Structure formats: structure tokens, C-alpha cells
Structure 1
Amino acid sequence: MAGNSLLSWTPAAIVFDCDGTLMDSERHWEEARELVLRGYGMDTPDDFGERTKGLHFTECGRVMTEMAGLSAGQADQVTAQLLDHFRKLVAAAPVTIPGASEFVRLTADFAPLAVASNCPRDVVESGLAQAGLLPYFTDIVVPDATLRPKPDPDVYLAAARACGAPPSVCLAVEDSYCGILSASRAGLRVLGVGPAPRDEELALADMWVSTLADAALVAWAESREPVGACVRI
């Protein structure tokens, strides 16, 4: 669906990814991966960040275990090391993506908001809290024993339910192919955000912007009919 169509529509709810969409934490994942692999005497391949972008941390740990030539039984150890480094890096320097804070505040005036993330809940909530954004979200949905991680649709389906809206009238805001695939499989319309997208990302996204500070996107958010902020207490 063309971007013009998306900007003539008001979603019943908006579900945001967190890493790379709201919080600039992809840099922390990259550094954490480098630290772990370096500990096993390996350099991180140049394309590794793109290959693992948006994946659940357990899957990333499994891939790193294979790359390091370790046994499958060591995957939990590698994943734990990855999360430990990541948590420390995020806590030391939480940074929002440019335009994200203002866009969240604008959209909260006309739609309930949720987060669907592959990150651990404590990392998502801590980062959003430090950015002053946590109260704007009705729910934070992450994989658990009953919800499969992206690219499966579970977290987006659960986030739409938490907002009280059918997926077909919800908007997902995503920066990775893994996340876009998850949202698309759940039946949400998708706003992609970030630098030049790949063909497979463009094919699934209803609209793509380089930043949430995009002038046309901000004007759209400002023009929606306010229904009152949906703020979690």
C-alpha cells in the first residue's frame, strides 16, 4: 500500500519495535557481540550486524556459538554473556533514536500505543523509562513461554490485543526485516524507518521513512483527531 494511503488513514492503535526504532541500542548489540566473540578469539564479520538485526537474543547467541566453533551446549553460556554485556552498555548510555520521542508523544494523542520487542522486558522498560517514554505505552510485549519471537507474528498479535484493536487496523513501526516480517504476518500495516531499505523490506512495508522526524510523517501525526493520551499509570 502506498505511503499516501497510509498518511490518509488513522490507525486504531500503534505498535512500536524498540531496538533501532525507539532506542538507539543496535550500537550496544554490536558492541556486545564484538566483546563476546573477541573473548573466543574471533573478529566479528562485517555483515554480522545486518544478518542478526532484529533476531531474538537466543537465536543470536546460537549463531555466535556456531561461528566461534563451540558446541551447541555452550549456546546458553554465550547468550548469557551477550545479555550481560548488552545490559551494562544500555544502562551506561541509553539514547533515543532521533525523532522517536516526539513521534511517540504525538501519536499517543490519538491512539493507544504498545511495544513489541525481541529484547528482554527489563531492558526495554529500563531504556524507555530513562527516556521518559514508558508511561505512553499500554503494554510491553516480549517473547515468553507462550509467545514466539519475531519473525513469528505472536508479539504483534498480543500487542494489538493489549490495545483492544484488531491487527488489521493497527500500525507497526519497525526498522528490521525480521520485525517487518513479524508485523506483516500478524496482519498489521507497517511503517518502516531507517536508512535505505532492502527490496524485501520495501515489498512488505506500506511506507518507508528515513527518520521518525520526517516532515510529512510528523504533519500526519499532528493532523490526527485527538482522542486523549493513553498513558499507563
Structure 2
Amino acid sequence: MGTRIPFERPDGKPAEGYLAKAGKANAPGVVVIQEWWGLQDQIKGICDRFALAGYDALAPDLFNGKVIPYHDTDAAGREMNSLNFLEATDQLVRGAAQFLLRSSPKVAIAGFCLGGAVAMLGACRVPEFSAAICFYGLPPESVAKPSDVKVPLQGHFANSDDWVTPAAVNAFEKGLQAAGKSAEIFRYDAGHAFMNEQRSVHDRASAELAWNRTRAFLEKHIG
């Protein structure tokens, strides 16, 4: 449904990503951020799903064309650990938002796993975003504190998650509340990456509930 496109970073350097269009003028936009597996077909499918829901969706390629097979967690970890998260947010993610804003009145960010952490950084650092959605990913407080969030935020987390643990989510939610931030935090009786239908961790009931909540949140904040 979508296609790979070039776009420009704020610093003028070239970037690429997967764009799925809603097929209507002035559609709101969503920047979609990949998991640590790279710009997999599953993430492209998320973009296509947003397009069918009426949003122009662009997933910037944070790994510059490299896609990791699902079984190779060591390679995925190496790619994630070599990523400069702040530069990726300030350049690739912001560039994607600026690209969408050429035709979209408002733009949100939605990220999964590694992308969830980047979505949080985007909520703190990228002024083009009007809302942010984070799926089971949080950055260290040293680079993004709950009090740094600048837009309405929705978070989806798994109760069986040893990466973003329930304790970490509880602390994050308390920080948001203490800072008076506009946020919805949801927890699911599922495992990490429950939205990824290509993996055994997929939990259909949780995924559909999270998707419906995502749709309602976007409708409220960007149209």
C-alpha cells in the first residue's frame, strides 16, 4: 500500500522511510517508529493500517536499510546499541514530522519497543508533534524525564515485561502525575511486543484493545 520515499533531515542530510497515504487531502499524520528489528514488514503494515484509518503515516528508517531477522536478538541488540537515540530523534524523526506537516495539519508520533523510547523522546524534544503514543518502551530519565513531556501522551505497557517492567511503568506514571502532564497509561495482561502479529508474543485481544484506544486518542488530539 505504501512506498519507500526520501525526505530531508533538519540538518539537510538525506533520509528514507516508508510512507503510506490516507488517500485524502489534508489528512493528519503519524510518524511511526520501528522496533529494534529495523523497518520490518510488520511496521510497514502498521503504517498501512494508519493510512486505512485516515492518517498519512511515515516510518523513518532508523537503521539505514538494515532489517534483522526476528530470531537474531544479538544483531538487533547491536543495532539498537549503536543507534544515537538523540540524533535519531532530532534529525530522522523530526525530519519525518516536518515532511508530513507539508500536507498534514497536525502530526503525532507512535513507537514500539525501541520506538516507544524514541516516541517518548519525540514527545519531549520535537516541537512539531501534537501528541505521542508509546508502546512498551521508555528512555532513561537522564535523557527524558516525565516532566519533560510537552504533548498529550498515551502509553501501552505489558504486565509481563522484563525490559520495561511494571515497576518502571508505575514510577513513570507517578512522575507524569506529579508533573501535571496529560497522559493515559494502560497496562495489559500480555508480554512485551504484544502488538507484533508476526511473533509468538502477539496477544490479539490486547492488541485490538490498544489499537482502539490509539484510534480514539488520535481522533481527540489530531483529528
What TM-score do the two structures reach when normalised by structure 2?
Answer: 0.38
Tell me which of the two structures has the higher relative contact order, counting C-alpha pairs closer than 8 angstroms and 6 or more residues apart: 1
State the structure with more CA Rg: 1
What TM-score do the two structures reach when normalised by structure 1?
Answer: 0.37
Q: Which has the higher helix share?
A: 1
Q: Which has the higher strand share?
A: 2
